[in-house]
Structures are given as structure tokens and as C-alpha cells.
Structure 1
Amino acid sequence: MEKIAHYLAAATRDNTRRSYAAAIRHFEVEWGGFLPATADSMARYLADHAETLSVSTLKQRLAALAQWHQQQGFPDPTKAPVVRQVLKGIRALHPAQQKQALPLQIRQLEQLVAWLDAGIEQAAQQKDHATRLRYRRDKALLLLGFWRGFRGDELLRLQIENIELVAGEGMNCFLAQSKSDRQLQGRVFRVPQLSRLCPVSAYGEWLADSGLREGAVFRGISRWGVIGEDGLHINSLIPLLRRLFAAAGLAEAARLSGHSFRRGFANWASASGWDLKALMAYVGWKDIQSAMRYIDAADPFARQRIENSLPSPLTLPPQAD
């Protein structure tokens, strides 16, 4: 039975498992619900949290509760018409604009890398090993995140032994699990070697300076320059990035996050002439709707299109005296 439980746990992503456990705890402990639940209790749970939780959060809670009932062999109350109607009513009465991370612009990436390079040089001169290591790590994380359009959790799951360097071309990064890999077949992400802002060079410099040979690529570093055994935790990524963005002087640093890599790359590629099919294949999107959520229109207010179509100003004939 222990082996079965081990493989059942491996079939679900860690993030999903943690969020589903939190949802069950919220329903039972914080709200006082009973499992197995009824459709009426599900509807009351939604109604009680309609004004405090977003629709996306409520849907995630329903998904967790649905999974619990299915795994325990009980009928799924979340599929009942009353539950679906209550959720629809919440969407109608409490509409919320979806918040998205700002895309990281290519000029901002250049600014970040220039700031980090200056910091690396200064730390080397001052023999500040800990700061130099952190800046090397951050530079590799930024460039890999941007040029591959990685999600934050994908970046932090990279393992040194699963990365293969191809001389003069780039490197292959194998990820055994990612959000878009529903069948858990694993996927190889190819990272190009570039003449500027090169993720491959930054990765090589980080490994050379850190001395790492296996395990997680990106790890915590103590104030004394001691590198942790385990990879960075996903909850530490956004605070780390926002501190870095703010220190480098980026505008609206608080609105940038791990998703800014993917949105930034998608917008850069679209503006640079990549067709949608090529972009989807490179990033790993399976459907157009997923891709389009990350790509901003080049002229979001249609200002240029309208300006170009405006008629010429009227020329009135001179008025007689």
C-alpha cells in the first residue's frame, strides 16, 4: 500500500496537492463543513465566501472538493445544478477584472543584466563571495526564465544532471513534469546560445562559480556564501525577483513576477515577427486561448489604426468680408 500511495502522490503536482489540501482544510476547519458534503452545503459555502474570495479561488476550492469525493468513492456534489447556478450568480454580481503580471520588456532585461554585471564586478573586487554568487545565480535565473518563457515552478525544478550543453548551439533542459505536460511524459526545452544576453553563458558562469555538479540549479545562498542543498522554494521566488527588480531601478517592480518572464518573451516574440504556431511550439502551449492570454496587442487602444484612418482636416473656404 505504501508503494501505491507513493505513486498516487507522484501523479499530482506538488503545488496542486498543497493547494487542494488547503482547500479541504478551509472547508472543514475554517468554515465548519462536513465531508462527504451535500449540494446544499456546497452552495452555502460558495455564498458565504462570495464577497471575500475571487471566482477563480472558489472554482479551485470546488475542484479540490470534487477530487476528494471522487477519490473516496462518493457522489460529487459540486456538479449539482444548484452549485453551478450559485457560482454563475456570483460571477454576475461580483465581477472581477483578471490581474496579470506585467511583461518583462527586453530593455528592462538589458537593464537588469547590466546592473547585475556591475554588481558581480564590484563584488569580485571587494572579495564579497556571497554577493557575487547571488548575482551570478540571479543573472542565470533571469536569462533562462525570459528566453525560455519558463514558469517560476519550471525554473526551480531544473536539475543540473538533466541539462546537456551542446557546443556552439545551446543546451537541452529536460523537465520530467510541467503544467502543460498532462501525460507526465517529460519534455526537453532547448535554450539557444546568443551573442548577447546569453542564458547559456550565464548558466555556465553560475555553475563554474558555485562549483555545483548535481541537484537543483537554483538554490538559496546564505549571507556567508554557503549554497543550500535544496532548490529555492516557489514561495520565495516572487519576493526574490521583486527585490531584484526594485534594486535595479525597474519601474513598477511590484507588478512584475515570475509570470513576467513568459509574458515578456511572448510579447517580444510576437513583436519580432514570430507566427503564433511557432511561438506555441517553442513555449509549449497546447491551444490558442492559452497563448493569447500572454500576448498583448501591439496597439491595445487601436489608437494608431484609428489615427491612420481619420479623414484629413476640413479646409473651409475663406469667408467674404
Structure 2
Amino acid sequence: MPTLDQYIHAATRDNTRQSYQSAVRHFEVEWGGFLPATADSISRYLASYAETLAINTLRQRLAALAQWHIDQGFPDPTKSPIVRKVFRGIQQLHSAPERRAKPLQLDQLEQVTTWLDAALAGTVDDPIAQLRCTRDKALVLLGFWRGFRGDELARLEVQYVTALPNEGMTCYFPQTKGDRQFKGRTFKAPALSRLCPVTAYQKWIALSGLESGPVFRSINRWGKLSEDGLNPASIIPLLRSLFDRAGILDAHQYSAHSLRRGFANWATSNGWDLKTLMEYVGWKNIQSAMRYVDSADPFGKTRIERTLSQAGLLSS
């Protein structure tokens, strides 16, 4: 029977818990801070990393420190006027445009899967390479067509996936980002005539023999699958290495978000309205969706040139 501590532990997503633990460890070990902290020490901590850490990273560090104090029953020093003033000052003096992963285009997705298919054809006598290629193809295709984040691909579990050949598949998550009520959510992906995520997933499950637990796992040099899912942070180098070997230029500019952004841009350029896209991917607000969608005319050139042409006709 679960204990009280287990219920408390389950109330926070693993990703959030791990990132908060890392942030608190950074404050204590790398910077040399003491807990419980004072408003002054947290202000000095922020100032120490104002020029080297992104604003969002500093914001996450504050959230972690705030949660630690709340959990331990101490007053939250991050809400003090001095901490807030320092943070606003950092925002003012060190503002920078948000760095975004490069979206993977559909032709690049095809280039990657074509390379993987060719690699698979040469793995008849190399079962370990066959495992890796089959896993990577399923990960890339499902990540793209479902618009999954890296942590969602890492958390997806076999027992929560139902795949129907030539129809589609459903992927259930007991908890998703922003799911404060722990209702869980089911995502669906279609079976496609080409670049099919369903077929790729079924081939991976059949080859790996997995019946439960994480879908995507690391594979060691002897071909043994890990009991745990891929670490979300490891998906970025995995994809960059894969893209580089497939001949994608500037592979270092891509990340797990490239699959999500790639799908969002493909969908909007093919007539999906924003509401449909938000429902499909699972975005709750427009701001979240717009961060992933690039304008087809980013500099407004087409719109302005059209207006200039019309003005020229009227004046002539």
C-alpha cells in the first residue's frame, strides 16, 4: 500500500522534480549557498549568473528555490522586494531574443528516414545496429507527426499505446505538462501512406520485444535495452548525430523541439487553422502555440510588395 511520502512524491512530475533538484544543487554546491536562504543571498546568486544564464533559466532556479522553502516549511525568500527588483534589473540589462530550435522540414524528415532505411538494409548481420535504426526511425516519425516534446517521447510507455495497422495509434499519458488535475490525456496519430509513425512504432515494438515500460530506451554496446526510458536530455545529441549522418546541414541547430516546430509549421502551411493545431498538439493557450509557428512571410515582404504593386497600378 502506498505511503504518505509516495503520494506526495507522485504529486510532482518527474521532469519538474529533477529540474528543481538540479537547480537547488546548483545553488548549494556550485555557488556555495546555504539553505534555508535569505533574500540577500538569493539576490547575490542571481547577480552572479546574470550574464551567463538565460532569463528563463534564472526564473526556473527561483521557482525551484521557492518550492524547496515551501516544502520545508520556511518562508519563501524569492518573493521579497529585493529579489524581485534584482530580477527585473537583470531582465532590463540582459534581455536577449529567445533561442529556438530550427524546425525540421518535411523534406528533411524524408531525408532522415530514407537514410535510416538504407542503414537498416545494411544491418542484416548487425542486430545491434538494426535495433538502433529501428528505434530511431520510430522516435523521429512519431515525434514529428504527433508533435511530441522530448520529455513526452521519453515518458511514453508501451502499455499506454494502442496501434491499429492502416488506421492509427493512441498514446495515453497519465499526466501531461500543465495537467494540474492529473486527468491524463490521450493523443492520436494517423497511419500514413508514407513516413508512417504507426508502422515504424510497430516494427520497433516487434523487434525489441517490449511489452511494458518505456517505449524508447538506450541500447548498450551488447544490444541490451535499458530498463529506463531515454533521458530527455540525451534525445538532443541523439537527434543531432542522426541528422548529421543523414546529411542535414547545421545539425547542431536542431533539438527535440525541432520535431514539434517542424510539424507545427507543416500543419499551418497546409491549411490547419490555429485552433485545430492547438487541439491536436495539446496547447492550452495561443502564446504557447505561436512560439512554435513561423510566419510564411517573416519579413512581410510579400504583403508589402503586393501593396506597392496595387499602389503603382492606382497611380498610373
Short-chain TM bin? over 0.9
Aligned to 1:3: 3
Q: Does 1:60 align with 2:91?
A: no
Aligned to 1:185: 183
Distance 2:288 2:64 in 1: 22
Distance 2:165 2:63 in 1: 46
Pick one of 295, 300, 303 that aligns with 2:301: 303
Structure 1 counterpart SS, 2:43:
helix
Aligned-residue offset at 1:312 = 8.0
**Aligned positions of 1:154-165 closer than 5 A:** 154-165=152-163
8 Å CA contact 1:171–1:191 kept in 2: the answer is: yes
Distance 2:24 2:265 in 1: 38
Aligned to 2:76: 76
**Aligned positions of 1:8-19 closer than 5 A:** 8-19=8-19
CA deviations on 1:160-204 (whole Å, 9 max, x unpaired) are 111112354211111112213232211111111111110001111
Aligned to 1:281: 279
Structure 1 counterpart SS, 2:247:
coil
Aligned-residue offset at 1:27 = 2.1
Aligned to 2:236: 238
Distance 2:220 2:70 in 1: 44
Pick one of 244, 256, 260 that aligns with 1:262: 260
Structure 2 counterpart SS, 1:189:
strand
Q: Does 1:221 align with 2:204?
A: no
8 Å CA contact 2:165–2:199 kept in 1: the answer is: no
Aligned to 2:99: 99
Aligned-residue offset at 1:241 = 0.8
Aligned to 1:132: 130
8 Å CA contact 1:180–1:284 kept in 2: the answer is: no
Q: Does 1:25 align with 2:15?
A: no
**Aligned positions of 1:196-211 closer than 5 A:** 196-211=194-209
Distance 2:273 2:123 in 1: 42
Distance 2:117 2:49 in 1: 48
Listed as ranges, the gaps of 5+ residues in structure 1 are 315-321
CA deviations on 1:41-75 (whole Å, 9 max, x unpaired) are 22222222222222111111111111112122222
Aligned-residue offset at 1:128 = 1.7
Distance 1:308 1:279 in 2: 28
Listed as ranges, the gaps of 5+ residues in structure 2 are none
**RMSD between aligned residues:** 1.9
Q: In percent, how many aligned pairs have the same letter?
A: 61
Aligned to 2:139: 141
CA pair 221-35 structure 1, distance change in 2 beyond 3 A? closer
Pick one of 145, 148, 151 that aligns with 2:149: 151
Aligned-residue offset at 1:313 = 11
Distance 2:7 2:302 in 1: 55
Distance 2:144 2:271 in 1: 17
Q: Look up the equivalent residue of 1:233 and give its one-letter code.
A: N
Q: Which runs of 4+ in 1 moved over 6 A?
A: none
Q: Indicate the structure (1 or 2) with the bigger Cα radius of gyration.
A: 1
Structure 1 counterpart SS, 2:92:
helix
Q: Look up the equivalent residue of 1:18 and give its one-letter code.
A: Q
Aligned pair count reads 312
Aligned to 1:318: none
Distance 2:31 2:202 in 1: 50
Aligned to 1:248: 246
When the two structures are superposed, what TM-score results if normalisation uses the length of structure 2? 0.93
When the two structures are superposed, what TM-score results if normalisation uses the length of structure 1? 0.92
